[in-house]
Structure formats: structure tokens, C-alpha cells
Amino acid sequence: MAAHDASWDIFRSELKHWMELRRYTNKALADAINADADDAGLSAPITEQIIKRWRHSTSPPLQSLKVIGRILGMSNDPAGNAPYDPTYLPRAMGILEAAPEHSELIEAAYRLQTIRAKITDAQSTLASATADEGVVNIVRRAMESGLGAAVLPVFEGPRGYPMHVSDRIDLREPQPDRPAPKPIDHPGLADALQDSFAVVSRRTPRFAVAADAAPPVTLSPWAVQYVGRPRPGIVHRPHDGVPAVVITSVTTTPWTDDVGALVAMVLGYGFTTTRELARELVKDPYRSDHLRNDIHDNFLSAATPTRRVWSHHGSILSGDNPYAPFRDAQGRVTNQLVQICLVEDDASLLHTAQFPPGRLGGGRPVDEVSSEFDELRRQRDTMVARAEELTGNVRVFSLPVTFSPEPDERWLQVFRCTLAVLQIIAGLGIDGDLRDVHDRLVRSDPQVAPQVLRWLADHDAPFVDPRYRTRR
């Protein structure tokens, strides 16, 4: 796109308007862009003279449009009162199609236009960036922002099968009387957390005195997961009869992402979560139920990702889809898709009501969460009823799960669910030699894969070679 195109004339007009509105000088904008140089796709620092030229003749790299729009808080409200809209500038320039008037159609149009590109981009990033590199990047970005960072490795798993499941990162201001830092105030750090699929952690602080201490108000706790995070696939074609697998649940309490990730690991498939895909668009994975339902609905039929396992949980009963979560809104589903429904017991649902995703500190009393608990039970019961009413060749299998507060017991349930899913797939007549895939996993993921394969081999799991069994 040449710098003299009409699109760049629009860019220059928008740049001038928003710089004046937000009271940014050329130097201030250059400094802000340089602070986020990696995301802006810049090979050299920006100067105020370059910004001046952008305002009159030359043009920035396309990749930097997102950063410029975010810094200036661009939206379709010229007064600047609306929330930042990442699609506004490319739409104004004609790079994206014009938005419909209705707000829900805007969201749907943006999703349909970008979801495949974002999946591709996310997977290419994953192929070259591991979780431990993500931790290093978070710490580096935190220190560049003037923050302190403490890292604690977390080893968990079924008893006798310890895995390095995550790294806990506690962020804090250097002054002890300052409140907990907010990543949104540090764009480079916020991007590093997102790129590493970091989640808010409820774990005990790094140097807590009491074992059950809640995170102090000066601490921002995060976790970078080694299990349950999106990952690329290994096999180059789907196994016959199983193009994809989806794991659904009403809540996160069954550790649905971890079940999906382990199933994907054994099959050599990639792994994706609707939560992380939604976070690519709205940044907050805990307030994106509607968008996550749209993504899941799209995956069920219109754009089913092959060679992939995906997980979906949250408010999964979309109001405009009477078939959710097993068919799309038109009642369609991809042929041979394997759907696994984790059915929580009441204790699991009560735990979620008391400790909703993203909440830090202690749980709420039972008498304060009765309405939330009742709604979760309604969703679970509706999901079970819809599964029982399915007809035709829809492959939906329900697995009951029970709640335990102990990590080793919860991991044991994750492994048992993984084993059950593999047995279901084998029972469909699916077979395959995955020894080469598993050998690659052991080499590339030595802190997780060997223990997973050993437990599964010890329990006679299909697709797993007996040579991984514990030697006695």
C-alpha cells in the first residue's frame, strides 16, 4: 500500500486528530511507540521527525497501526469517549470492510474476518516460543517497567507422577506501600502476559508466611502454564475418523483445558481454547462468554479446526442457540467430530460460585452465592438433557467429574478423564501408531510428557506404547 494512497491520507487525518485530542506531541508519541517497539514491527527507534513525516507524507509499517491506535485510544467516537476499538483505524483506512451499524453485528463481522488469521498467527508464534521463554519475557518486561518479579516453579500431578505444570510469577512495585501493579498500565508487560497465555493465579504468594495466605494487595499474581496452554500439533494429517475433538464443561473446575491439552498431546494434535482466542480480541478472558460461545459455535460446523483439540467452558448455553454446546445455531455439526462433555457434581459448581474465575483472595460464603449456584446447576442440567436428546450421528460422550480441593486428586481426575477420552476414541475403531509422535514429545517437553505417557502406559491406555510403563 503506497504512502500516497487514499488509505494513508485517511491515516494522516486520523493521526492528526487523535494526537491533538489526546494532547500527544510528536516526541511523546515516538517515545510511546518505542516503548512497544517489538509489537510495532520496528527495526529502528522512531524519532519525532519520523512522526512529523507520518503526519504529512510518509507512512508507518502496517503492523504498527495497532500500537498507534492503542496508544491514542482510537474509536468511532471522534470525541474520544468510547472504549478503544482495535478495528477502528483499519476500518477507516479500508483495510477491513466497513462495520455494520448494530453492535452485535460489528462483533460478529470482526470475528468472522479475523478468527482464522488469528489462529494461524497464534500457532506460528507457538511453534517458535515455549512457555519458559514466555516467563523470561515477562520478567524482562516487568523489570523494564520498573517492577519487581519473583518466579516459583510449580510441580504437581497424580501422586508419584510429578510434572512441572506452571511457573508462578508475582509482580509488585519496588515501593512496599504501593498497590499491586496493573499490567494494563504497562503495555509491554501486558503483551508479554498475553503472548505467554498467562492467567491470574490464586496460589500462595512466593514468600508467604502462612500456607493459606491470600495474595496481598501489593501483589499481582500470575501463572504461566506448561499444561493446558495452546500448543501446535505434530501430526500432518488428522487420524481417520477423528478430525477434531472438543472438551466442554460448564465451569473451569474440572480443569477442562488440562484434559484437552493432554488428549491433544497423546494424539499429536494441536490444542486451542476458546478463552485464549477470545482474549486475543477483548483482552479479558473472564468477561468474554458471548464471544467464546460464538467462537465455539463457529468451530462446530463452519470452521472446524482439523488436527486439533479445543476446550470450551463458561456460560456455554448461548441464548440464541437452542442446540448449544453440541450443535451450532442452525443445528449443524461437523461429521465425525468427537465431543466430550465433562459433567460436574454439585460440589464442583459450588466451588466455582464461591471462587469465580479471576477472583483473588478467599471465597464467598455459601449463603451469598445461592443464585450463582442455582444458575450453574441449571446450565449443567440443561447441557445433560440436550446431550441425551441428540439424535443422528452426533458423537457426544459424557464423563462425570467430582470435586476435590487437593491438587494431586484433581490431577488424578484429569488423567482419568484423559484415559477415558482415549478409550472412547479407540472404541470408535480408531487406531494408529504414535510412537514417533510420543518420542518427539519426550524430547521437546521433558518436564511433562514423560510423566503423562508413563501414567497412561501404567493404566493400559490405548495409543501409548507399553515401553513407557514404570519399571519395577
Q: Using alpha carbons, list the distances in angstroms from residue 119 to 36, 79, 106, 177, 311.
A: 23, 34, 20, 41, 14
Q: Which of 22-31, 137-146, 341-350, 384-393 has the highest mean pLDDT?
A: 341-350
pLDDT at residue number 274: 87
Give mean pLDDT, residues 362-373: 80
Percentage of the chain modeled with pLDDT above 70:
82
Percentage of the chain modeled with pLDDT above 90:
44
pLDDT at residue number 184: 77
Least confident range of 100-104, 135-139, 299-303, 358-362: 100-104
Under the banding of pLDDT at 50, 70 and 90, the label for residue 128 is: very low
| More confident position, 462 or 211 | 462
Q: Which of 37-46, 148-157, 256-265, 370-379 has the highest mean pLDDT?
A: 256-265
Would you list the DSSP string of 192-261?
HHHHTT-EE--SPPTT-SSTTPPPPTT-EEEEEESSSS-B----SSPBTTBSEEEEEESSSTT-HHHHHH
Q: Is the model's pLDDT at 94 over the cut of 70?
A: yes
Any idea which residue has 511507540 for its cell? Answer: 33
Q: Is the model's pLDDT at 342 over the cut of 90?
A: yes
pLDDT at residue number 362: 58
| CA 56 – CA 49 distance, rounded (Å) | 11
Q: Is the model's pLDDT at 110 over the cut of 70?
A: no
C-alpha cell of 438?
A: 510420543
State pLDDT tens for residues 220-242.
889 998 898 888 888 988 999 99
| CA 56 – CA 393 distance, rounded (Å) | 61
Give mean pLDDT, residues 189-193: 87
Q: Which domains does the chain have, with CATH numbers?
A: 6-92 (no CATH), 131-225 (no CATH), 244-468 (3.40.50.300)
Q: How many Å from the N-terminal Cα to the C-terminal Cα in the chain? A: 66
Q: Is the model's pLDDT at 109 over the cut of 50?
A: no
Q: Using alpha carbons, list the distances in angstroms from residue 127 to 121, 192, 230, 418.
A: 10, 16, 10, 24
Tell me what the pLDDT averaged over the chain comes to.
Answer: 83
State pLDDT tens for residues 407-458.
999 999 999 999 999 999 999 988 888 999 999 999 988 999 999 999 999 9
State pLDDT tens for residues 14-42.
999 999 999 999 999 998 888 877 666 66
Under the banding of pLDDT at 50, 70 and 90, the label for residue 113 is: very low
- Do 278 and 246 form a contact (C-beta atoms < 8 A)? no
Is the preceding peptide bond at 325 cis, omega within 30 degrees of 0? yes
pLDDT at residue number 361: 53
- Do 395 and 337 form a contact (C-beta atoms < 8 A)? yes
| More confident position, 58 or 51 | 51
Q: Is the model's pLDDT at 112 over the cut of 80?
A: no
| CA 298 – CA 300 distance, rounded (Å) | 6
Q: Using alpha carbons, list the distances in angstroms from residue 425 to 228, 397, 415, 438.
A: 20, 10, 15, 18
Give mean pLDDT, residues 88-115: 57
Under the banding of pLDDT at 50, 70 and 90, the label for residue 62 is: confident
Q: Is the model's pLDDT at 288 over the cut of 80?
A: no
pLDDT at residue number 321: 85
Q: Which of 50-54, 174-178, 346-350 has the highest mean pLDDT?
A: 346-350
Under the banding of pLDDT at 50, 70 and 90, the label for residue 107 is: very low
Least confident range of 6-20, 264-278, 307-321: 307-321
pLDDT at residue number 368: 81
C-alpha cell of 453?
A: 505417557
| More confident position, 366 or 405 | 405
| More confident position, 207 or 368 | 368
Q: What is the pTM of this model?
A: 0.71
C-alpha cell of 357?
A: 474465575
Q: Is the model's pLDDT at 315 over the cut of 80?
A: no
